[in-house]
Amino acid sequence: MRVFTLLWTVGIVLKEAQAWGFKNGIFHNSIWLEQAAGVYHRESRKGRYQLTYKEAKAVCKYEGGKLATYEQLEAARQIGFHVCAAGWFDKGRVGYPIVKSGANCGFGKIGIIDYGYRLNKSEKWDVYCYNPNSKECGGVLTDQQKIIQSPGFPEEYQDEQICYWHIRVRLGQRIHLHFLEFDVEDDTSCLADYLDVYDSYDDVSGFAGRFCGDYIPDDIISTGNVMTLKFLSDSSVTAGGFQLEYTVINVPLIPHNCTDCFHLPMV
């Protein structure tokens, strides 16, 4: 098990200052949200509706993607991509894909809710990107129990993957991670390929450990009802990948100042 206390310290100290920019060689600018058919939705680390058109383009470009076109967004929508948040897409257009009509979202309409081509490119929205080569991995997980695997598992994972899993369970529950299999390219400081675990709703605060190599890490239990896992592989050498299971523990929260707790809305 490799836990880098130096990185942990940096993560805490730079929480605000590093909200945008590079940390450990990774561009920290947005939270990975839903994706389908190569289209994915991202919001700024600062929260919803914080990206100018220029920033939105930079978010997509960082991982080899582009702003999604209307047609790509519609193709994703037709296989169930439903997001209640307006984002920039190709050519300075803003909108969002709605599959099921609801009172709170999309004005009761179904389809791409289109705000049109924006004249003011300094307006701030989320973003819809397109990258056909990105593996379907990561996502927002709210189940009480789930297996999480590296992309393509049990096949070897591929180069240049970035996956974010945001686990969000009910308030008052904690998350228990149990590793089943683990084989990630080994290097002395886990800078090439690695799995990061954060005791937080994003990967800015709450760093709990970085793992590579082929030792199976010890179990990890969250302090609150959220956790974030980030898997990154660089452009060379892959390995078998990993598989872990999370389950929830129904115990009272450890009393603490819960500044990073995510309050899952009641459904």
Among 257, 265, 266, 267, binds ligand NAG (CB under 6 A): 257
The footprint of ligand NAG on this chain (CB under 6 A) covers a number of residues equal to 7
- Both structure tokens of 215: 């030792």
Rule CB under 6 A: say whether 252 interacts with ligand NAG: no
Residue 52's H or E segment, with its range, is none
In three-state secondary structure terms, 222 is coil
- CB of residue 120 vs ligand NAG: minimum separation in angstroms? 4
Please tell me whether residue 120 binds ligand NAG under the rule CB under 6 A: yes
3-class SS of residue 207:
strand
116 binds ligand NAG (CB under 6 A): no
Q: Which residues pair with 195 in a beta bridge?
A: 211, 231
- Taking alpha carbons only, the member of 133, 156, 30, 139 closest to residue 80 is 139
Q: Are 27 and 21 in contact (CB under 8 A)?
A: yes
Report the alpha-carbon distance of residue 208 to residue 235 in Å, rounded.
Answer: 25
Rounded to 5 degrees, φ, ψ at 157 are -75, 165
Residue closer to ligand NAG (CB basis): 47 or 255:
255
The CB density around residue 258, as the number of other CB atoms within 10 Å, is: 14
Verify binding: residue 259, ligand NAG, rule CB under 6 A: no
Binding residue for ligand NAG (CB under 6 A) from 16, 255, 265, 267?
A: 255
**Does the protein bind ligand NAG through residue 5 (CB under 6 A)?**
no
* CA gap 176, 168 in Å, rounded: 12
Q: What angle do CA 30, 36, 38 make, to 5 degrees?
A: 75
Inter-residue contact 200 to 257 (CB < 8 Å): no
Segment near ligand NAG (CB under 6 A); pick from 98-106, 117-125, 153-161, 246-254: 117-125
Q: In this chain, which residue has its C-beta nearest to ligand NAG?
A: 120
As measured in angstroms, the least distance from the Cβ of 115 to ligand NAG is 13
User: Measured from the CB atom, is 235 or 259 closer to ligand NAG?
Assistant: 259
SS3 state of residue 136: coil
Residue 181 as a binder of ligand NAG (CB under 6 A): the answer is: no
Identify which range of 14-22, 193-201, 215-223, 250-258 contacts ligand NAG by CB under 6 A: 250-258
Nearer to ligand NAG, 55 or 245 (CB): 55
Residue placing its CB nearer to ligand NAG in the complex, 100 or 256:
256
Q: Is 256 in the site for ligand NAG (CB under 6 A)?
A: yes
* 47 contacts ligand NAG (rule: CB under 6 A): no
Residue among 121, 125, 141, 106 at smallest CA distance from 48: 125
| Binding stretches for ligand NAG (CB under 6 A) | 120, 122-124, 255-257
